[in-house]
Chain A
Amino acid sequence: MLPDFASVSPETKADALAYLASLDDVRVIAGGTDLLVNMKRGELCSNVVDIMNIEELRLLSGDGTDIAIGPAITHAAISAAAMLNDLAGSLSAACGWIGSPQIRNMGTIGGNLANASPAADLIPPLLIHDTVLKIESQEGKREERLDDFIVAPYETSLKPHELLTWVCIKGLPGYREGYRRIARRAAWAISRLSVAWAVREDGDRFVDVKLAIGSCTPMPFRPRNVEKFLGGRKKDDHTIGEAAALVVEEIRRITGDRPSFAYKLPVVKGLVQKALRG
């Protein structure tokens, strides 16, 4: 049973922004798969603005490598989109793993980002695609890099009257991409840890490598020092081993030590190596 609230379902972005500006104690609801669970567990709000009827928030457009994804697009729709399969394979893969078929039909990319869970599956792939978020309110528009958008676990820079309107990513043609998540069961489970990668190689050399690690640090992150280290290096066991060790060092640097690291760090090491080897 949900606590009491009033809801509106605008059909245009402008109306949604107007509601967000005028209503008190208001929350956006997209798929509701995070918000309603939280509300069932005690979170309260007086008003919700349902954005799922807004056509312009469900568009997908792209020219070459610049792709704009509407925040209200569901995981199922993303994983079925051919363009994203080609240019953002890690994102498609992650969308295919989230929750269950039902969750993928309900949950949205915008909700996943705005909820900002350390275990959110879409954040690592979006990080390696240099995602920039477009945010609007009645007062104006702003843009923010995904790295800056998430400020703490479950906390973003979004203000209550703001709406995420576009998720803009850079497609990565010519990269070998992937996403691997580890969970306690084969489906419908939250990631214990995850790795997204995009690797461009030339023969036996790494040309450009992008990595992102989820569920190990308070916020998923890119070990940019490791990416830099790999750029141009020979693809051999030695380099790969060293890179994996550097990733682990970076996680430790960010988070210190945690009991769960006894498990997570060796696994991350193994997965990074696997990803780099291909």
Chain B
Amino acid sequence: MKIVSFALNGKKVSCEVQDRELLLHALRERFSIKSVKEGCGIGECGTCTVLIDNEPHYSCLTLASKVDGHDVKTVEYLGDAGLLHPLQKAFIEAGAVQCGYCTPGMLLSAYSLLMKNENPSDSEIREAISGNLCRCTGYIQIVEAIRDAAGLCKCKP
């Protein structure tokens, strides 16, 4: 077992994890963050995406011990019902959500993009979400949403 301390959605947290424990399972089980999903477990679907130091990573292939001293963000960081992030609003408005299973990961990849690039082109957007599969939407409305949000938000770390 190991103690890991990290920033989770802006708050300092600390917990004991097994050496072999994956960040995905630590978040789901120890922190009850169920928005992080396990669609495949081998880095091939993107539903487990989290931001580590503001860059998207697959939490299914990240040992929990690796985030010690780092910053971890999940979709909960973006906003809540009273105060949606412009990206979340844009996802709703554009119809970018169907079954919703890919949505948290998709939002995080988008958020990371907008942090680095306030005015991305469509091909930059497509590339930024190319590590997140969506079986429902065909991505078009997701790209639209990210484009719409780009003008509206400053995604500061």
Seen from chain A, the residues whose Cβ lies within 8 Å of a Cβ on chain B are 2-7, 9, 29, 31-33, 36-37, 40, 48, 50, 52, 76, 99-103, 105-106, 186-188
Contacts and interface: CB of A to CB of B under 8 A. Distances in A.
Contacts of A40: 41-42
B6 to A, nearest CB: 13
Of B2, B42, B66, most buried by chain A (CB within 10 Å of CB) is B66
Nearest to B49: A102
A4 B1 CA distance: 11
Interface string B103-120: 000000100000000000
Contacts of B41: 40
Interface stretch (B86-94, B124-132, B148-156): B124-132
Interface of B: 2, 19-20, 22, 41-44, 46, 49, 52, 55-58, 61-63, 65-66, 68, 109, 127-128, 130-132
A141 B43 CA distance: 34
B128 A33 contact: no
Q: Which of A4, A6, A102 has the most CB of B within 10 A?
A: A102
A32 B131 contact: no
Given A100-B130, A101-B128, A106 B19 contact: no
Contact of A7 (B19, B52, B56, B131): B19
B11 to A, nearest CB: 23
Contacts of A33: 43, 61
Contacts of A187: 127, 130-131
Contacts of A106: 43, 57-58, 61-62
B19 A36 contact: no
B57 A7 contact: no
Contacts of A5: 19-20
A4 B19 CA distance: 8
B43 to A, nearest CB: 6
A6 B61 contact: no
Contact of A100 (B20, B63, B68, B131): B131
22 contacts: A2-B20, A2-B22, A5-B19, A5-B20, A7-B2, A29-B63, A31-B61, A32-B66, A37-B42, A37-B61, A48-B19, A50-B65, A50-B66, A102-B109, A102-B131, A105-B57, A106-B58, A106-B62, A187-B130, A187-B131, A188-B130, A188-B131
Given A102-B49, A188-B131, A7 B109 contact: no
A9 B68 contact: yes
Contacts of A186: 130
A31 B19 CA distance: 15
A187 B132 CA distance: 11
Contacts of A105: 52, 55-57
